[in-house]
Amino acid sequence: MQIRVDQIKEGGLFLSFEEQVADFPALSVVDGDEVVFLAPLQISLRAIHVHGLVQIEGRAETEVRLVCGRCLKEFETPLVIPFSLTFSRDLPEAAADSEEEEGIEISAEEMGLIPFQGEAIDLREALQDQLVMGLPIRPLCQETCPGLCPQCGADLTLGDCGCERPTTVNRFDVLKNFKVDKE
């Protein structure tokens, strides 16, 4: 999955293509959880030259099967991940702006630049990173999912289990009438 830099004309280069998830090994297991991709990745992007850099913006779409973070049921959902990547052939040297900041250097990665060499940009690793970061941290089958009962473990999406819910006590309630004397 490469883009040749000389193919990027003044108006930019528009590409749409399909990639198999197997081509991205980091997507098979994310944070110990198995992510099941149900469809190939549909990627559309636009590449343009900006002051000696190559800016690539686009989005990746697919369908995934995840496990709900509350009720532990599997569910299927579309996944749309927008991305913006900036590639640089020659990484700029970071210079200190003032005498106090002398000795502070900013790396290309901290500036958000991705180095490349030659006449082609390999998108595979950068896209893989964007896809991993675009996966939900705590997926939910629905926003209102009540989850599991903390006492008996029953699935509350099927109905109330009958357990008595403990009332939560706010430990800061004792401070609500607290007054500070300003003498």
Question: Does the pLDDT of residue 178 top 70, yes or no?
Answer: yes
Is 143's pLDDT higher than 80? yes
DSSP state of 78: E
How many Cα atoms within 13 Å fall on the side-chain side of residue 115? 9
- Average pLDDT taken over every residue of the chain: 82
**CA dist., res. 122 & res. 24, Å (int):** 13
Beta strands 53-67 and 41-50 are: antiparallel
Tell me the pLDDT tens digit for each residue of 34-89.
Answer: 678 899 999 999 999 888 788 999 999 999 998 999 999 999 999 999 999 998 88
Contact 126, 116 (CB under 8 A): no
> What per-residue confidence (pLDDT) applies to 170?
80
Which has the higher per-residue pLDDT, 113 or 38?
Answer: 38
pLDDT at residue 76 in the model: 93
Task: Name residue 42's beta-bridge partners.
Answer: 18, 61
- Quote the pLDDT of residue 104: 64
Query: Given this model, what pLDDT does residue 92 score?
Result: 56
Confidence of residue 27 (pLDDT cuts 50, 70, 90): confident
CA-based nearest residue to 137, from 43, 68, 58: 68
The pTM (predicted TM-score) of the whole model is 0.69
Does residue 109 surpass a pLDDT of 50? yes
Determine the average pLDDT of the residues in 153-163: 87
Q: According to the per-residue pLDDT averaged within each range, which of 29-33, 38-42, 167-171 is highest?
A: 38-42
C-alpha to C-alpha distance for 113 and 55, rounded to whole angstroms = 10
What one-character DSSP code corresponds to residue 111? T
The answer to whether the beta carbons of residues 73 and 67 sit under 8 Å apart is: yes
Band the pLDDT of 101: cuts 50, 70, 90. Answer: low
